[in-house]
Amino acid sequence: MIMPIPLRLLIVEDCPADAELMVAELKRTGFAPAWERVETEADFLAQLPQPWDAILCDYKLPQFDGLRALYLMQSHGVDLPFILVSGTIGEDVAVHAIQQGADDYLLKDRLARLGLAVTHAMDQKRLRDEQRRALAALQESEARFRAIFEKAAVGIARMDAAGRHVENNRALQLWLGYEAAELSRLTLEQYTHPDDVASDRAIYADVASGRRDAYRMAKRYVCKDGQTRWGYLTLTLIRDATGAPLHVIGMVQDITERKLAEEELKSLNEALENRVTERTRQLRDHTEQLQTDLLMAGEMQRAFLPQHDPTFPHGAPPEQSALRFAHRFLPAGPVGGDLFNVVALSDTAAGLFIGDVTGHDVRAALVTAMLRTLVEDLAPSHRDPGALLTALNRKLLPVFQTTGSQMFTTAVYLVADVAAGQLRYSCAGHPWPIHASRRRGTVTRLAGPLGPALGLLPEAQYGCGAAELAATDLVLAFTDGLCEIHDASQQEYGESRVFAAVQNRLRVPLDQLLDELLVDAQQFAGSGRFADDVCLLGVEVARLLR
């Protein structure tokens, strides 16, 4: 079994979801990331001294950008693999970023190469570290310097302030096609690609004068035979004992094949984009029908919701029922993944089920319909709530395993018995319901054994909790879409505000309470819209039947 590769990762990203996608892709390709996300310049500088292995940086952030982050890293003398990951980035900007020292760049919607890019950048970092260690050794011993200088597989040159070669090694001579004497008569500018001369001259002057101690970049070289090759150049300033600039060591690695591969990849991407454009045109012709089908699916899903609540005892008029119910269902789209059901178990006991299936698509809606049927079939023979959830888990596992992607559902099942004055319940990864006592004026969260979501673990067993029920008590179950609505500052509504809203409305009728609870959450968010499906299911004990 291959163990995951530990990776200490600093992510400069203002979107938490995008950061999670990057981490997920790295996990998929064999890494075990320990990561931190920052989005401001101040937070970036605060985290920069930490022992990171690599930096993933968005190109455009609200307060600064990726090139600024790259500059800050370089200006603070930090050498880490630096990869730009952006939603949209032009070719010119990407090339400029690479020339400025970024190791690579990727688009957010094409993260499949992220693992390879990080591996390559870390390899480059290790190579640079080896180069620096070699240069430090050169300062300590001329003999050791000479051995490394002559035998290194990468091109090395020692240059003066004007960029003229004082000496160079055989690897560089073979790569450029010049003999040592020929190179000694040339400056760096004379074998640099004409388009790069101005920028390279300024960078070299900064290093040679001592304004920078080091610099690294990908650049183009013109060989003696006229061919253009790409090299990854590291410039390092060597100072004398007084700290004055002495000479510059340049080390270059051939990356021509990598650049050719990138050009080929670019051509393939363009061809793929053309195919996608054509396919999009074809799909557009079917969009209207798909939307119509989706709306129809939503109408069918709402039609499957309970239309009439049972009364207790059976046949009692609704106004005389010992248990009274209220519910609300607000899908985030045409169809949703939330569901609820109320099942009469006897003249004095009712089963209440609420669940949240992953997703908001037609597949999730189909699962809700299946769940509703399963609950109605299993509830009469599984009076223990934990036993019902255990049976549901066994039924759902083979269904979810055939979907091709991970699916699960959180759920709560409650049995309210007005003869015993008792509420029994079991929870599968779902928010705990609220138990409110109007008589005592208290609002508490039900508690008990919490099991995993349904459809994840084949051997999962679900326990059962219990609470006393009294006349005028009410129990409210809800899905996480109610709690996870955010205001403009990204503060979450949360369960604490749900509790407070119920506490402030203990004397309000159940139907009115549910409506006011939804309004309270929407007013908190300001937008008036829920990002996720929301389902509320409440039951009120009108009287006990003893």
What are the residue boundaries of the structural domains of the chain, listed by start?
A: 5-126, 141-254, 310-541
Q: Residue 290 — pLDDT band, cuts 50, 70, 90?
A: very low
412 neighbors 354 (Cβ within 8 angstroms): yes
101 neighbors 82 (Cβ within 8 angstroms): yes
CA–CA distance, 241 with 26 (Å, rounded to integer): 45
Other beta carbons within 10 angstroms of residue 476's beta carbon come to: 24
* Secondary structure (3-state) at 463: coil
Element (H, E) at 499: helix 494-503
Q: Residue 271 — pLDDT band, cuts 50, 70, 90?
A: confident
Q: Looking at the domain covering 5-126, what would its CATH class be? A: alpha beta
335 neighbors 365 (Cβ within 8 angstroms): yes
AA letter at 219? K
Residue 78 scores a pLDDT above 50:
yes
CA–CA distance, 188 with 242 (Å, rounded to integer): 27
159 neighbors 207 (Cβ within 8 angstroms): no
Residue 292 scores a pLDDT above 80:
no
Residue 293 scores a pLDDT above 70:
no
Residue 300 scores a pLDDT above 80:
no
Place of tokens 């070669």: 165
**Per-residue model confidence as pLDDT tens digits over 274-288:** 887 777 777 776 545
Q: What mean pLDDT is predicted for residues 283-312?
A: 57
What is the pLDDT of the chain when averaged over all its residues? 88
CA–CA distance, 222 with 194 (Å, rounded to integer): 9
**Per-residue model confidence as pLDDT tens digits over 440-489:** 999 999 999 999 999 999 999 999 999 999 999 999 999 999 999 998 88
Which residues partner with 105 through β-bridges?
84
Residue 305 scores a pLDDT above 80:
no
CATH number of 310-541: 3.60.40.10
CA atoms within 13 A on the CB side of 419: 8
Which residues partner with 412 through β-bridges?
354, 427
The whole model's pTM is what?
A: 0.49
Take residue 538 and report the two structure tokens written for it.
């409440």
State the DSSP string of 15-42. -HHHHHHHHHHHHHTTEEEEEEEE-SHH
Q: What are the distances in angstroms from CA 145 to CA 26, 172, 236, 243?
A: 39, 16, 15, 20
**Per-residue model confidence as pLDDT tens digits over 139-180:** 676 667 777 777 788 889 898 988 898 888 898 988 999 998
CA–CA distance, 47 with 55 (Å, rounded to integer): 11
Q: So what's the pLDDT on residue 276?
A: 75
460 neighbors 452 (Cβ within 8 angstroms): yes
Of 239, 237, 189, the C-alpha closest to 212 is: 237
Q: So what's the pLDDT on residue 178?
A: 92
**Per-residue model confidence as pLDDT tens digits over 83-111:** 999 887 778 888 888 899 899 999 988 89
Q: What mean pLDDT is predicted for residues 389-408?
A: 87
Q: Which of 33-47, 162-176, 373-387 has the lowest mean pLDDT?
A: 162-176
| Fold of the domain built from segment(s) 141-254 | Beta-Lactamase (3.30.450)
